[in-house]
Amino acid sequence: MQLFWHKGFHDTSLKDLERALEMHPGSIYATFGSKGQLFQEALERYAHLALIELERTLAAHESPLAGLAAYLRQLGGLRDQTVPSRACMLVKSLLELGEREKDAREKAEALLTTMEGRFIDSFAKAQQTGELDEELDPTRLGRRLQAEVMGLRSFAQRDVDSAAVHALADDMASSLEALRSSAH
């Protein structure tokens, strides 16, 4: 996963995979079927880990909005981490993959939709508990949050100061907290 996340699908060679997996080409193909299938498994692993982190953060907070705000603030620490890339692997894949890699592209799209759905569910739950005004649209809010997360991760990929990423994440979280219903 780390190799694909860092280099992308096209720039990851079979030799790179051989070294990273400590496998011969025949073993790679016997185990994974193809480079494309291995890449899709890497996308699934990346998305699974991201979803676990989101769920862990949501569960640690008393309300959906507090959990989502905390998740954004966590992402503010992207420049403080040693990771293959600070940009989202799924978004990087969507930007890189063409029609020839239709299956992998559809996989990345589906995984992003799953995360977006989790955001939407959190906003709907906040609405059900009275934390979020009934007039607000959970779907629209979930999509907006997804776009903000994608943008924050892209911003963190740039050569910017860690404090700037933290500040931006905090601004986004504060904006989300401002949605809290006055009745709550």
pLDDT at 7 over 90: no
Task: Decide: 51 and 116 in contact? Cβ < 8 Å.
Answer: no
Mean of pLDDT values over 60-76: 96
pLDDT at 161 over 70: yes
pLDDT at 125 over 60: yes
Close Cβ partners of 30 (under 8 Å, ≥ 6 residues apart): none
pLDDT of residue 85: 61
**Percent of the chain beyond pLDDT 70?**
95
pLDDT at 122 over 70: yes
Residue 8 falls in which region: left (phi positive, over 0), alpha (psi -120 to 50) or beta: left
CA distances from 107 to 40, 111, 112, 139, 144 (A): 7, 6, 9, 21, 21
pLDDT of residue 182: 65
Mean of pLDDT values over 53-79: 94
Residue pointed to by tokens 């589906």: 110
Give the tens place of pLDDT for each residue, 95-113.
888 888 888 889 889 999 9
For the chain, the average pLDDT equals: 88
Helix axes 102-128, 64-75, angle to 10 degrees: 140
Q: Domain 43-177: what homologous superfamily?
A: Tetracycline Repressor, domain 2 (1.10.357.10)
pLDDT at 4 over 80: no
Helix axes 64-75, 162-177, angle to 10 degrees: 170
Give the tens place of pLDDT for each residue, 12-52.
877 888 888 888 878 878 888 888 888 888 889 889 989 99
- Residue extents of the structural domains in the chain: 43-177
Task: Decide: 177 and 69 in contact? Cβ < 8 Å.
Answer: yes
pLDDT of residue 83: 62
